[in-house]
Amino acid sequence: MSDLHCPATLLVARHGDAEYGHPSVLCDEGGWLSARGRDQVTALTGTLRERRVARVYTSVLERAVESGRLAAGLLGVDSVAVDGLAEFSVGALAGRPHDDPELASVFKSWMHGDLGRFIPGGETGAHVVARYREALQAIADLHRGETVLVFSHGGVMSFVQPRVDGAVRQDLVERAFLPNCGVAEVEVDGDGFRVCSWPGSADRAVV
């Protein structure tokens, strides 16, 4: 089997529970892990000891970086922050309530396939999909035949991973809410991406 068709296994996890300087409004700040979040990362890492994780990757946002640093230390591997895996930016909507109807409308449009809509001062859905897919592909290309842990974010995971190869897996879209440290197992080879398991739930109470 060529390296191209030898799959890389990406364990893509939402970061641990986090705290923020402005918790009641939308923002793009990185936040930091709470005590609960550190416990969640530690518990997750304990379930992965038999997976022979080769490296940990994270988005550049601090809550993911801290999750990766803690997990990597427990697994005895390196942690590397990479561009492309961050949560989508709220742009000019920063400072508005979390249930802001304009943001909800854009995200709903993305989830229904209108990837040309954009968050004011932020990204289009098409750009989010492209930069996230590119980041996952670059990681996979470095780890054919290996397993890596990747810390990302709930919104971008829910939106992008069901459609990374252009086809929408409706069963994943319908389970959009992701718990902290929930893991989606993704295999990447020369034929593209395959989501093998998904931690999402239709119950918003999980987040």
Token representation of residue 75: 């697994």
pLDDT confidence of residue 1: 43
HSE-CB at 42 with a 13 A cutoff on CA atoms is 7
Cα angle 146, 151, 156 (rounded to 5 degrees) comes to 115
Which pLDDT belongs to residue 165? 85
Q: Which residues contact 7 (CB under 8 A, 6 or more apart)?
A: 144, 145, 187, 188, 189
Domain ranges of the chain: 3-206
Q: Are 20 and 28 in contact (CB under 8 A)?
A: no
For 3-206, which CATH class?
Answer: alpha beta
CA distance 143 to 70: 21
| Token pair recorded at residue 132 | 């996230």
Q: What does the pLDDT read at residue 3?
A: 61
pLDDT tens across the length of the chain (207 residues)? 456 578 999 999 999 999 999 899 999 999 999 999 999 999 999 999 999 999 999 999 999 999 999 999 999 999 999 999 999 999 999 999 999 999 999 999 998 899 999 999 999 999 999 999 999 999 999 999 999 999 999 999 999 999 988 788 989 988 888 999 999 999 999 999 999 999 999 888 888
